Amino acid sequence: MQPVQVLVILLLSDLLPDKLFFLCANDFTVQPSSINTTLNSTVNFFCEATDDYDFLNFYADSIQTSREEIRNRGFQDNIISISGGALRGVLTAKAYDINNNTNITCVASSLSTLPITSDTVFLMIQGLLASVANLDYTFINGSSVLLTWTAPYTLDNVLITGYYIVNGLMNITTPNNNTNITLSATNPNPCVLNNVSVSPINDVGIGSSNNKNFYYQTVPLITPNVSVILIVDEQKQVLLHIHVDVADLCIGEYPNNVTVTILTTNNEIQDSASIPTQVNDQLVITGAITVPRSNNLNTFIVNVSLSNNGGEFLPTPSFGFVIIGPVTEIISIIIDDCSTINITWNAPIVDDSISIQYYNLSIYDDISHQFLRSITVNDTSYQFVNDNLFIHHYTYAITGVNELGEGIPHKATFSYQRVPRSANENTVFLKLNYTQNILTIVEFNILVMLECTGEAPNSATVTVHCNDTGNIYSSSYIIEHTKQPNNITGLISVHQYQECNISIVFSNEAGSSEPFILEFDTSQLYPNITTTTTKSTITTDIVIMWSTSTVILLMICLISS
C-alpha cells in the first residue's frame, strides 16, 4: 500500500469514525506511460481519474511532485477538472541527467473512497551516443573505400538521426542512419596515412567517435626487386623461396597479392600459388611454394606477378631453373685391401647450358648416425684413408651443384666389415711349466692389434685338444675396440706325456677366421730355442727353453693385426 493510501485512510477514519466501509470507485481512465527521450528535452505524463475522486497527485521516486525538492529537478504538475467532474493531471518533466530512470506514479483519492495508484512508469533519458562498433573498410579500388560499422545502442523510440564522418580534411554528415558510406579520393597519396572517424548523431548532439586508419593504394612507378631461390630440403622436395623487396615503396604501394606461376619451357602452366604478403622488419615480403615433381619437372620457368587494389604492377623478369637430379650408381670399395676407401658415382643428366660445377659429398657414420665431414668434389670419384679403423659402416650423401644451387641429394650406405685374418705359426707365445704332480701348466698370451678397416675381431675363441683326453679347454674372450693392443692371457692344466694342440679363432659380424692350430707335447724336454719372425701384419715370438728341474716352458705370443 502506498504511503498516500495509508494517509487517506487515516484521514477518513478521523473524519468518519462511525463509517465501517468505503464506497467502491471506478478506476483510472488514463494512466501515465513510460517515456524514452533525449537529454534536456521536455516530456509530459498524463493521468485521469473518474469523478469518484476528489484528489489527484503525481509521485516521482515515491515523493509527491508538489514538493520543492522534486520541483527543483524540473518536475511541474498541473491538476484540472474536466467535464463530468473527472480529474486530469499533467506532469511536465525536464530530461536532466538527475532524472534518468525516475519512476512515476499517479494516485487518486477521495474522502469517500479508497485511494488508487497507477502502474509505475519510468522516465528514461538518452544522452550522447556511444561510439559505433565494428568499424572497418573494404577497398573498392585503390582510391575508393567502403566504410562500414555497427550502430551503437540507443533507447527505443530515440532515433539515431545520422552520422558525422571526418575523412582527412573533409567532414561529412549523413542525413540518415545508414551504417555504411563510400569514400573516394582524387589522386590519393599512397605515402600519407588516411584517418577516418565516425560519430553517431541524435537530438542531443554528436556522440563518441571511432577511428580507422588506412593508406589509399596505387601501383608504384617502379616495380620492386623480386628474387627466387631454389632449395631442395631433406625430404627431396624442391622449394622456391620468394623475396619481394619493398624498402623503396610507400606503404600504399605495397603489393597485397603475390602470385607465383611455374611453367614449362613451352609456357604450359604447371602450378600457380600465392604467398602471404606480410612485410617483415627488413621490409621484405617472403614466402615459399613447392615445385610439383609429378611430371619430372627438371627445367622450368617461374613468373612472379604483383598487384594491389590500385591495379597490376609492371611485369617482373622471369626466372629459369634447371634442377640437378640425383647422381646414380654410387659404388664404394677398399682399393688397397686395407684402409683406403674409393667412392665413384655417375653424374645426373643436365641441360647442356647449365653444367654441374661440383659435388657436395657428406660422410656419416652409419652405426652412430653421426655426421663426420663434408667435402667438395670436382669429379665423380673420391678417395680417403679411413683413419678410424673401427668405423666400417659409412653413409654417403652426394649432391650436384650448379650456378642455380644444389640439386637433389642421393644417399647410399656401405659396409666394409670383413672376416678377421687368421693367426699363424709366427703369432703365438706359450709357456709350459711341469709340476711335481705330473701336470703341466700351459700359459698363453695373445696380443691383438688392428691395421685394416673392417677386420677388427669382436671376440677370440681359444681351444686346447689332447689326443688322449680330448678337448680340455675352450673359452671365448671379448675384444675391445681400442687403439691400444688387446692382451689376452690364460692358464691351462695339462697332463704330462700328452700330444696336444691349441686352436685360436677370431670372429666378428662378418664371420670367423680360419683356426690357427699350434701343436705342443708335454712329454719331451726341449733345448733353449728363441725365434722371432716379423711380417707386415703379424708378429710372433716362440720361446722354447730347457729347465734344470723337471719343468718344460713353451711361450706362445699371438699378435694379430
What 3 state SS string does 383-425 have? EEECCCCCCCEEEEEEEEEECCEECCCEEEEEECCCCCCCCCC
Question: Which residues, 6 or more positions from 274, have their beta carbon under 8 angstroms from its beta carbon?
Answer: 257, 258, 259, 260
In 3D, which of 276, 306, 298 has the Cα closest to residue 289?
276
Look at residue 170 and give its three-state secondary structure.
strand
Residue count (the chain): 561
What is the pTM for the complete model shown? 0.55
Local confidence pLDDT in tens for the 561 residues of the chain: 444 444 444 444 444 444 433 444 458 999 999 999 999 999 999 999 988 898 999 999 999 999 999 999 999 999 998 887 889 999 999 999 999 999 999 999 998 888 999 999 999 999 999 999 999 999 999 999 999 999 999 999 999 999 999 998 789 999 888 999 999 988 899 999 999 999 999 999 999 999 999 999 999 999 999 999 988 777 777 889 999 999 999 999 999 999 999 998 888 898 999 999 999 999 999 999 998 876 667 778 999 999 999 999 999 999 988 778 889 999 999 887 788 999 999 998 776 656 788 999 999 998 888 999 999 999 999 999 887 777 888 999 999 988 767 888 899 999 888 888 887 776 678 888 877 667 788 888 777 777 788 888 889 999 999 988 888 888 888 887 766 677 788 888 888 888 899 999 999 888 999 999 888 888 755 443 333 333 333 333 333 333 322 233 333 333 333
CATH of domain 232-320: 2.60.40.4070
Whether residue 2 contacts residue 8, with contact meaning beta carbons closer than 8 Å, is answered with no
Cα–Cα dist 400/298, whole Å: 13
Residues 42/45/51/57 CA torsion (nearest 10 deg): -90
- So what's the pLDDT on residue 264? 87
Fold identical between 3-126 and 232-320?
yes
pLDDT of res. 311: 94
- Residue the block writes with cell 609429378: 294
Q: Report in angstroms the alpha-carbon separations of 477 from 133, 184, 433.
A: 85, 92, 23
Say how far apart CA 128 and CA 201 lie, in whole Å: 8
- Any idea which fold 429-560 has? Immunoglobulin-like (2.60.40)
Residue-range domain boundaries for the chain? 3-126, 133-214, 232-320, 328-415, 429-560
Give the fold, CATH level 3, of 328-415.
Answer: Immunoglobulin-like (2.60.40)
Distance CA 47, CA 87 (A): 8
pLDDT at 107: 96
Domain 3-126 is found in CATH 3.30.360.10: no
**Architecture of domain 133-214 in CATH?**
Sandwich (2.60)
In the chain, the N- to C-terminal Cα span, in Å, equals: 118
Count of other CB atoms within 10 angstroms of residue 416: 20
Contact 316, 306 (CB under 8 A): yes
Spell out the long-range contacts of 223-230 with Cβ–Cβ below 8 A and sequence spacing 24 or more.
223/306, 223/313, 223/314, 223/315, 223/316, 224/248, 224/249, 224/255, 224/306, 224/313, 226/304, 226/306, 226/316, 226/317, 228/260, 228/302, 228/304, 228/319, 229/405, 230/291, 230/321, 230/323, 230/404, 230/405
Q: Cα(532)–Cα(528) distance, rounded to whole angstroms?
A: 14
d(CA 167, CA 293): 52
Q: Report the candidate in 192, 193, 174, 180 with the shortest Cα–Cα distance to residue 145.
A: 180
Cell numbers for 402? 650448379
Phi, psi for residue 252 in degrees, rounded to 5: -70, -5
The answer to whether the beta carbons of residues 359 and 380 sit under 8 Å apart is yes
Q: What is the pLDDT of residue 25?
A: 46
Sheet holding 133-141, edge to edge: 133-141, 144-150, 180-184
